[in-house]
Amino acid sequence: MKRQMLHDLIENAGGCAVTDGGFATQLEKHGASINDPLWSAIYLIKDPHLIKQVHLEYLEAGADILVTSSYQGLSIEEGESLLEKSVKLAVEARDGFWNSAIINPGNKYRRALVAASIGSYGSYLADGSEYSGCYGPDVNLKKLKDFHRRRLQVLVEAGPDLLAFETIPNKLEAQACVELLEEESVKIPSWICFTTVDGENAPSGESFKDCLEALNKSNKVDAVGINCAPPHLMENLICKFKQLTKKAIIVYPNSGEVWDGKAKKWLPSKCFHDDEFGFNATRWRDLGAKIIGGCCRTTPSTIQIISNALREKS
């Protein structure tokens, strides 16, 4: 049963599964230039083989979940075919990798799931508003649902295992996501991740208690959590979410570097090195996180260390 897939994966992983890490970061390591409004999705057009290669590198590192490269900027005008392609490439990478893995009796891998990424409205605007939560007075619930609806339909039709709503900055957009899942009768699991700047509230200043209200009432949302926030905030946030929800908790922080949305560059700050991710991943799991991975500026080596640490201590 599709609805059960995410819970089954978490159980098979010993209570905590691993999602992948930064996509654009890894593309850049291969010499890609990501300075484009489409961000890493530009490589769906320029070099789809490179997209697939990055997915494979995360699978080799021990990721149980691959997130597609459909996060940013893909408006419907730019092509439903690119959204479909983002899912197809991830599924092909997963299937090819798994077919090789299962014939090796010593393999330590689990069959990964493919999560279709749906970035926030702010990520489409590409003005940094996913880190402020301020969409202005003209953006209401209907506008956000209209913005996401066709993208969600195309991604679901492309056949991923689950949906991943990412960097949601306010209560209104979280509610829009939940209502869309209901209205479109989505049958596959989903997670909804907020981001945070202060480690206490959503970027909009709204409390997570308020933001989670609609999510907690919906049986279409299987996991909730935080992505693309600094790793040193995770411990407090997991404890907070544990008190606010019965849903599975997912965290995939960035490296701790801060993205300047206006200047479009990373600013050095309180950074985690890969080894610290290993130590902290076991701590986050022990506090109640059920899915752990990385976001911007993390790499397959980060995920390898997280995966190894969780396997050792599970």
Count structural domains, the chain.
1
Q: Is the dihedral of CA 56, 57, 63, 67 positive or negative?
A: negative
E strands, 195-288, in order: 223-227, 248-252, 258-260, 265-267
Answer positive or negative: Cα dihedral of 7, 247, 205, 146: positive
Q: For residues 38 and 79, is the Cβ–Cβ distance under 8 A?
A: no
296 annotated as ligand-binding: yes
Q: How many CB atoms lie within 10 A of CB 295?
A: 26
pLDDT of 78 reads 63
- The closest of 15, 10, 16, 46 to 30, measured between CA atoms, is 46
Report pLDDT for 55: 98
The predicted-structure confidence for 133-185, as pLDDT tens digits, reads as follows 999 999 999 999 999 999 999 999 999 999 999 999 999 999 999 999 999 99
The answer to the question of whether 228 is labelled as a binding residue is yes
Residue 288 has pLDDT above 70, yes or no: yes
The lowest-confidence range among 1-10, 121-130, 215-224, 289-298 is 121-130
Predicted confidence band at 256 (pLDDT cuts at 50, 70, 90)? confident
Please report the pLDDT score of residue 242 as a whole number.
98
Residue 127 has pLDDT above 70, yes or no: yes
pLDDT of residue 10: 98
Half-sphere exposure for 110 (CA within 13 Å, toward CB):
23
Query: Binding residue per annotation — 134?
Result: no
- The highest-confidence range among 30-39, 173-182, 253-262, by mean pLDDT, is 173-182
The answer to whether residue 231 scores a pLDDT higher than 90 is yes
Q: Quick check: 106 pLDDT over 90?
A: no
Q: What pLDDT, on a 0 to 100 scale, did the predictor assign at position 310?
A: 96
pLDDT exceeds 80 at position 191 = yes
Query: What's the pLDDT band for 265 if we cut at 50, 70, 90?
Result: confident
- In sequence order, what E strands does 98-220 have? 113-119, 162-168, 190-194
At residue 115, the pLDDT reads 98
Separation of CA 300 from chain center: 15
Per the CB < 8 A criterion, the answer to whether 164 and 115 are in contact is yes
Q: What is the pTM of this model?
A: 0.95
Average pLDDT over residues 87-105: 95
Give me the pLDDT at residue 218, please: 98
pLDDT, mean over the chain: 92
Q: Which helix (H) or strand (E) holds 41?
A: none
- For 41, 57, 88, 141, 177, the CA distances from 74, given in Å and listed in that order, are 8, 24, 16, 20, 17
pLDDT, tens digit (0-9, with 9 covering 90-100), for 40-78: 778 888 899 999 999 999 999 999 999 999 876 555 566
> How far from each other are the two terminal CA atoms of the chain, in whole angstroms?
26
What pLDDT is stored for residue 313 in this prediction? 66
Give residue 138's pLDDT. 94
Work out the number of other CB atoms within 10 angstroms of the CB of residue 151. 20
Residue 270 has what pLDDT?
67
Domain holding 78, by residue range, is 2-311
DSSP one-letter code for 184: T
CATH, residue 223 = 3.20.20.330
pLDDT at 73: 56
Q: Which is more confidently placed, 185 or 264?
A: 185
